Amino acid sequence: MKDLNEILGMANRVQEELQRAQENLDKIEVEGAAGGGLVKVRASAKGRILGVQIDESLLAPSEKQMLEDLITAAFNDARKKADETSSAEMAKMTSGLPLPPGFKLPF
């Protein structure tokens, strides 16, 4: 059995690595799109929305419902991509850690 200090030191290193990984996720950008790119949403891999781009053709009052639907779809697409990117980045970071099979980190 490992020395308690060694185990605590390992836990501190893991915590520091996880903190760095979380900070890096906010620097990675993903883009969600809907309507063939008529509506685009940029987000960080942590899910923070960075910007929205809407094609001018959708700004007519008659297109209001479609625009609302496309914005919702683009946000959902950006969120999905952010989640996928976050999972991939965390998997890279934790690949060398001695975690039990099926263990999920709380992020």
Three-state helix/strand/coil letters over 17-70 = HHHHHHHHHCCCEEEEEECCCCEEEEEECCCCEEEEEECHHHCCHHHHHHHHHH
Residue 107 falls within a domain, yes or no? no
Q: In the predicted model, is pLDDT for residue 38 greater than 90?
A: yes
Q: In the predicted model, is pLDDT for residue 101 greater than 90?
A: no
Residue 42 falls within a domain, yes or no? yes
Quote the domain boundaries for residue 8.
4-94
Radius of gyration of the chain (CA): 20
The CATH number assigned to the domain holding 28 equals 3.30.1310.10
Domain count along the chain: 1
107: confidence class by pLDDT, cuts 50, 70, 90: very low
- Contact 82/72 with Cβ under 8 angstroms? no
Residue 84 falls within a domain, yes or no? yes
Q: Residue range 29-55: average pLDDT?
A: 93
For the record, the structure tokens of 17 come out as 């690595």
Residue 105 falls within a domain, yes or no? no
Model pLDDT for residues 61-89, shown as the tens digit of each residue: 999 999 999 999 999 999 999 999 988 88
